[in-house]
Structure formats: structure tokens, C-alpha cells
Amino acid sequence: MNELFEDFAKAYALQNGYLLAQTISPVPPPNEPSRLRRIWQSTNIHSVKGDIKHFIKSQTLPRKAIGNDEINGWVEVYVAYWNALGEILAGESGKSSWTKVYETWKELTSVLIRGYNNSGFEAWTIPTLYVVGKYLRLFAIKSDDERSRSSTDNSGTASLMQDDFDPELEKQGQLRDCEQHLKRIFTLCLNDRAPIEESRKWGIYFVINLLFKTYFKLNSASLSRTILKTLAVYNEKGDMPPLEAFPRAQRVTFKYYEGVLFFLEENYVQAEKHLMEAWNSCHKDAKNNAERILTYLIPCRLLTSHVLPTKTLLRPYPRLQELLLPLAECIKRGDLHNFDLALQKGEDEFVRKRIYLTLERGRDIALRNLLRKVFLAGGYEEPKEGETTTVRRTRVPVPEFRAAICMGSGGEHVDADEVECLLANMIYKDLMKGYIARERGIVVLSKKGAFPGTGV
């Protein structure tokens, strides 16, 4: 345990919050895989509180003065940490469960929050909140998975009691409990009234990002809006440091989730704006994060700007290349049949990522490109006497469009009424400019910009 509090003392002397946070990590350093077990074995339940207090005083006070309230607060934190380590190590040998780990880690979280409220923990120590919040969420997920497996194994007994509880709610019970504790950390940071330089507000975006991840995992993404509204009030009052002043990782994650929220609300213009900010700030080596951003940015740009992803863009991301490149190629060619097949092939993944309905709208772009080919194939009208400028044929017979749609649909028969309905929808959606002259059986297209976004 001596080495643990040497690091604690060093962190206090340097006021290094990240070094301090490492002292309450549930994961040992790569170069010291047995560190957690050594800490656990260095004392016992009867002596742990006295031992920790002794080590904090002997290691820290010679370097930096700490008040008694603060010392007692950290003693309580490290006692709770030691208890959590016992469950973590017992779990490794099959003598404990993730549920017990979660409960002890939850106690550590509560004790740490009390330390900020009652023991005067300073703002530079907020990375400790990052560690407890991050692992509280992970342990909650593991606990829920464990409980779900146990429930499946005992499905016969559970079926007798199914009227007494909501099984869907129970599946993520620990994560829902975790969300309440993350909100306590959020409130702790948000309501700090210390000057900005010494404020716990510098921890706010890390906690917000944890809450976003939790809400998305719970399929309750809309709850994120409450957090954003609260944050907006403080930003308007000037009580919050600007987002640009926070670490890049926190900015990218925040903008990603903000963009995805707009995406799910079908506000694709705002979604594209925030996702582009995340994309431009994302570190070039963070391939997984970049792939997550592109998963939503590509469908956004497809609808807002009709921009298709290129092979060069998708080359570093084989999974996205496999899913999205066939769709992009079909849209470019106006190949409706193969577009439907590609959408069907990736349906499970698209639905899981919540992008299926957005990608499905890409069929309109594919249809527009198909109709544009018919328009271009019609050539030019004969110039009138005295005119030298050639003008494209703008009166296209409906049967020509119908023939193209039938071919693009893989030879499937499409009747005339359905074709007229498709054409009317294209005009309504401003993907084609003109009108249908039904009595003459033609489509009269605009002489300029007949197909917006294509240059013709």
C-alpha cells in the first residue's frame, strides 16, 4: 500500500489530477499486473482505515499541508476503493459477481461525491470523478448482462412471476441506477460557484459524454436533450468555460453525440454541422471514432448535399466500405434494383445503427439519377429558324421514363399510374423541376436546372 500513497503524495505535490485518478483505477498498470492484489493483501478489514490514514499523513504531509477534513475525506475514499478491489479480485477467482462489484464501486462513487461536498476536495482532483464515473457505467453494464444471463437460466421460475415485474426494465436496472449517480456528478460539477479557473465545471463535458453514452445504451437518447437544455442555460449566462477550452477528446465526443441527436430527430442540416465539427477535430489515428462519425455523417450528406462517399474516403474503414459503397455506386448509376438488394443485405446493421430509414431515402437520389439519364439521352431540340443556341429537349414522354424505371427495377413491370406517382413525388421533393401534362402523356421539364444538384 505504501507505493499507492507515494503516488497519492506525488499527485498532491504536483496537483496532477490524472496521476491522482490512477490511484483509484480498478485496472492495474500494464507493467504491474499484480498491483491491485498487493494493495488488497497489504491490510485487512479491521486495520484498513487506520493504515490508510497513516500512509496519507506520513507520505503527503511532509510535502504538502492538507487539512484534517480533506484527509478524512480521502481516507473514506480509499477505504471504499479497497473494499471494491476485494470484490473485483474475488470476481476474478469466481467468488464474487459483477453485481457486487457494481455495488461496491457505487459506494466509492458516493463517498467521492461526499468528499467534494463536505471535505473540500479541490477542482484539480476532478479526474478522479472521470475514473469512478467511467467504471461505474462499465460495471453496471456487466452487472446487467450477468443478471440477464442468470434470468435466462432461471426462465422457468421467472415465467411464474412475470406479472410482478417488467422484464424489459429489469434487463438494464443497474444501468438505470448508474444514470442517477452520473447525474449527481453532473450536478456536482455544474453547480460549483468557484471562479472558473478553480471550478469543477471543467469536468462537465466528460460527465455529459458519459450520460450520453448511458442514454443511448438505454434507448432513451431523447433524455440527452434535458442535459443540453440545462447546459445551454449556463452557457447563455456565461457561467461555463467555452467548449473550445476543453480537451479535444471531450469536444469530439460531445459534438458526435449532439450530431447524432439531431440525426435521430431528422434535422439533417444541424446533424451535418455538428458531425462535421467532430470529424474535423477527430485525431487522424482514432480510426474507431472516425468510423462512428462517418456512419452518420455519410447519410446526412447524402440527403443534404447529395454527396456520395468515395472509395478513397472509405478505404481505411473496411466495414463501412462493405456496407455503404454498394449503395453509393447504385445511387450513382441509378440502379434501383441493386440498391434495394444492397439495402436489404445490410438491413440488420443499418437498423441497429438507426440509419436504415435515412439510407432508404437515398433511393430517391438513385431515381433522380436514373430519370436524369433519360433526360440526357433525349438530346437537343431542333433549333428554330434564326437561332444558333441548342436547347435540350424538355418535353419527355412518360413512357420513356416508365421504360427506364422498369429497367432500373431489374425488369420488374411498373404500370403507368405508379410511374406518374413516382414522377409527381420527385417534383414535390424538388429533385426534378417541371410538371406532368397528363392529357398529353408528357413531362414538361424546366429549361434550367431540371434536376437540381446535378448541373442540368
pTM of the model: 0.88
Percent of the chain with pLDDT over 90: 74
- Give me the chain's average pLDDT, please: 90
Residue 127 has pLDDT above 60, yes or no: yes
pLDDT score for 339: 95
Distance CA 85, CA 101 (A): 8
Residue 227 has pLDDT above 50, yes or no: yes
Counting Cα atoms < 13 Å in the Cβ hemisphere of 384 gives 2
53-67, 135-149, 191-205, 370-384: the lowest-pLDDT one: 53-67
pLDDT score for 83: 95
pLDDT score for 380: 82
Residue 151 has pLDDT above 80, yes or no: no
Distance CA 240, CA 250 (A): 15
pLDDT score for 388: 66
pLDDT score for 447: 84
Residue 63 has pLDDT above 90, yes or no: no
Phi and psi, residue 23, nearest 5°: -75, -10
Residue 391 has pLDDT above 90, yes or no: no
Q: Which three cell numbers stand for residue 111?
A: 463517498
Residue 300 has pLDDT above 50, yes or no: yes
Percent of the chain with pLDDT over 70: 94
Does residue 406 contact residue 419 with C-beta atoms inside 8 Å?
no
pLDDT score for 159: 42
More reliable by pLDDT, 151 or 307:
307
Kindly report the number of other CB atoms within 10 A of residue 422's CB atom: 17
Per-residue pLDDT, averaged over 247-254, amounts to 96
- Per-residue pLDDT reduced to its tens digit, 1-49: 888 999 999 999 899 999 999 999 999 998 889 999 999 999 999 999 9
pLDDT score for 166: 45
420 pLDDT band, cuts 50/70/90, is: very high
Per-residue pLDDT, averaged over 217-226, amounts to 93
Per-residue pLDDT, averaged over 129-139, amounts to 96
Residue 351 has pLDDT above 90, yes or no: yes
Per-residue pLDDT, averaged over 192-197, amounts to 89
pLDDT score for 334: 93
Q: Which three cell numbers stand for residue 164?
A: 410482478
The strand pairing partners of 435, in sequence order, are 444
Q: Give the closest residue to 214 by CA, choosing from 186, 242, 249.
A: 186
pLDDT score for 238: 85
Residue 171 has pLDDT above 90, yes or no: no
Q: DSSP for 202-262?
A: GGHHHHHHHHHHHHHHTT-GGGHHHHHHHHHHHHHHT-S--GGGS-HHHHHHHHHHHHHHH
pLDDT score for 437: 93
pLDDT score for 312: 93
Distance CA 257, CA 209 (A): 8
Residue 336 has pLDDT above 60, yes or no: yes
Residue 384 has pLDDT above 90, yes or no: no
